[in-house]
Amino acid sequence: MTHRIVSAPARPVRWSLVTTVLALAFLGGRRVIAQTPQPKPKTPPKAAPKTPKQPQAAPQPPAPAEPPAQAAPGPVQMPQLIYSPWAKFCGKGQAADAKQVCFTGKDARTEAGVPVVAAALIEPDGEPKKIFRITLPSPLQLQYGTRMIVDQQPPLTAPFFTCFTNGCMADYEGTPELIAKLKKGQMLTIQAINLAGSAISFPLPLADFGKANEGPPTDPKVFEEQQRKLQDELQKRAQQAREKLEQQQAPTAPKQ
């Protein structure tokens, strides 16, 4: 399906990327691991010989798994998406020793304003390790994790590390190789498995990612003014589409 690429309203974009992604980045890497509950071991039959108890290993985050061949009946058709531009924001946490964190992010929503997918490169000041964080709508089958594909290159995989009311997050290591691919790429495709066992695939255009990442932080006032003008245009288009639909559905007068 062809996805129409337009810009989203400023406030929803700032909520999904600035508030959610940057707020989590300010937590200093603290994570709540979304683990799949482990089944309790069954009591062995009385006749079975006793075996010495083995020490249990600490629980590990679920590794992304390939879905079984019959688990996905087919890809889910996505509605038309409205994209925010790639934008760079920087800030500090509330702690006295907090370092500045910059992130370059983009998100997509439906025409009704429902958040669908977001991605952001998180770069803590003075630290070599970077994180490329993606957010997908919940609920999802967490045991399969996520896949991320830049153009036609081999996919990367990562497990979900946390879920909240409207989405689940996964982190990829922001290696120099990955960042170079993102800057040169045309399309980023993010995939997961929903509760029905169907593959869901979210495209995010990569145009202007490199320009936004390498440039200065976005001026929030300029950004919001640009988004306000684009939102006015979107509302005008939506009104025209509604009027056209009403005309098509209007009953025609019977012929005499």
Query: Nearest CA to 182 among 253, 124, 104?
Result: 104
Say what the pLDDT of residue 143 is. 92
Residue 8: pLDDT above 60?
no
Helix H or strand E encompassing 132 = strand 131-136
Say what the pLDDT of residue 95 is. 78
Gap between the Cα atoms of 116 and 2, Å rounded: 16
| Residues 35-80 pLDDT 10s | 333 344 444 445 544 555 555 544 454 455 555 444 444 555 666 7
Report the share of the chain in percent with pLDDT over 70.
64
Position 249 confidence tier, pLDDT thresholds 50, 70, 90: confident
Candidate from 150-159, 174-183, 223-232 with smallest mean pLDDT: 223-232
Average pLDDT value for the chain: 74
Residue 112: pLDDT above 80?
no
Gap between the Cα atoms of 202 and 83, Å rounded: 12
Tell me 25's DSSP state.
H
Q: Answer for the pair 85, 214: CB distance below 8 angstroms, yes or no.
A: no
Say what the pLDDT of residue 169 is. 94
Say what the pLDDT of residue 120 is. 96
204 or 99, greater pLDDT: 204
Gap between the Cα atoms of 163 and 139, Å rounded: 9
Q: Which DSSP string corresponds to 27-82?
A: TTT-----PPPPPPPPPPPTTSPP-PPPPPPPP-PPPP-PPPTTT--SPPPPPPEE
| Residues 185-216 pLDDT 10s | 999 999 999 999 999 999 999 999 999 999 99
Q: Answer for the pair 82, 108: CB distance below 8 angstroms, yes or no.
A: yes
- Range 98-130 burial, b when 16+ CB lie within 10 A, else e: eeebbbbbbbbbebeeebbbbbbbbbbeeeeeb
Say what the pLDDT of residue 218 is. 84
Peptide bond between residue 203 and the one before it cis (omega within 30 degrees of 0)? no
Say what the pLDDT of residue 61 is. 47
pTM: 0.67
The burial class, CB within 10 Å (0-12 / 13-18 / 19+), for 189 is middle
Report the share of the chain in percent with pLDDT over 90.
36
Three-class DSSP category at 95: coil
- Averaged pLDDT, 219-241: 73
Gap between the Cα atoms of 162 and 61, Å rounded: 10
Candidate from 26-30, 127-131, 173-177 with smallest mean pLDDT: 26-30
- Averaged pLDDT, 152-162: 94
Say what the pLDDT of residue 16 is. 46
What one-letter code names the amino acid at 144?
Y
